[in-house]
Structure 1
Amino acid sequence: MEKTIDILIVDDNKEFCQLLAEFFDENDDFNVVGMLYDGEQALEYLENNKKPDVLILDLIMPHLDGIGVLEELKSKELIDEMKIVALTAMGHDKIMKTVLELGVHYYIMKPFDLDKLTQRIKQLMEAESSAADNFTVQNAELEVENGNYKPLITKIIQELGIPAHIKGYRYVRQAVELVIKDMDLLGAVTKELYPQVAEKFDSTPSRVERAIRHAIDVVWQRGNQKALEKYFKNNINENVKPTNSQFIARIADTIMVNLKVS
């Protein structure tokens, strides 16, 4: 590594913090700038000091939990100034979804392998190129082993620029996950895919279809141009907006190819 990686550790378990700090101190690539033991301390530090390269943040803490810290950081526009690794002893899809949407770059369950953590942090800090893409894939593989594709799907649709507050955001994500698990659904989008998504969200197939189409319209008009060129290069070259099924299929295909989903 050309640059020492500054790390701030925030966890209410002081012994665990010390263990992490000692481990990082043995590696010349890392520099622990501080250890804090609750969310309020973390916010005060981050508002008044130079931001670390990496924030290691426990999600369950007294006074202010990790999600509360993330929400405050995002509201103060500090979330993008560092890489964030979330730690938790409780695995839950909704929690994972929330922290990823709040800007967490890597989510890891306790207990974990310390060598693996340092490897992931180094990957995070590498150039925003193929190395970052590889990190996303490797991070997602940990979840794919348990049949959970949502983290990588979420990364892609956020990269494209689908706003999280519109209904199409949730519908696209659910549709892509269903297609990954059953590609035959692409041949029955109206009769099977939309109804399954609608059932999940207590909606109707026609509303699902319209919301997904709206999400695509939003992305096409004001989404991330680099991401669009990355995933929909042919459509960009031909100046043709993808249909709902093409949009869903392209994201699903990207994940299946990269992760070699069988």
Structure 2
Amino acid sequence: MTQQMVQQMKKQYRILIGDDGSFFPSRCAQAFRDAGEWVVTRRQDSQALLSTVRCEHPDVLIMIQRDSDMQPLLKRIRQIAQLEVFILFCSDQHYLMNTLSQAGCICCSMPDCADSLVSLVQRKCGWRRSRQLEREPENLTQLITELLYSCGIATHLRGFYYLRDAITLMMERHSCGSTMQEIYGIIAPQYHVTPLCVERAIRHAISHAWQHMDENPSRGIIPIRFSGRRMSNAEFITFAADSLKVRTDVQEKPSHLTVS
């Protein structure tokens, strides 16, 4: 699979917004979602932001400058992740803006509207890409869909969509040692549900396929029965990801992929 095809699989970019308690962060989050990006907001304090950077692997962090010293937090973030950091200033603080710019941040005054920030972030990050993905015969989503259909897991099952996203994440995050709980936590906000809901729906979909496997024992690339029992969520998702990696020759590497 070519690098271009891998890039086409990246349907969204991951954006983390620090919530300082004002109305602007929530408006920004909605504007980015309307633009098709994956967004999560977290309370703007060191612990919450660092934890989210570790778990969610965002491409962009947006914060509103407050009285607290941001430099220690930025230093710790740079130690664990490579991402673009945007800092919005409510007032002119040229010395601090210059200091943070030298540290690799993109500093700017608070924009008049959230849409302006979306344009700024996309322009600065060089995201000049079409939202209409070309239809590729080896499109990853298509391959996963066909695999799930072959196992008897159809779109009328809520777990179908969660499984499709989980397999995609596992394919590109496997070398990072992502746990199932982390994957559930990434998927849940996209559907406005809890991680527990994602886990249960996936288990139900796999159970459905297992209960009906005798209707057509020749179907399916994945053996739903594993050592005489139904596969667990982790076993099914890992097996599916490994099977598809062989077919698509995707290189294992840390990913900034997100699920929709």
TM-score relative to the length of structure 2: 0.42
Structure with a larger share of its residues in helix: 1
Higher relative contact order (CA 8 A, sep 6+): 2
TM-score relative to the length of structure 1: 0.42
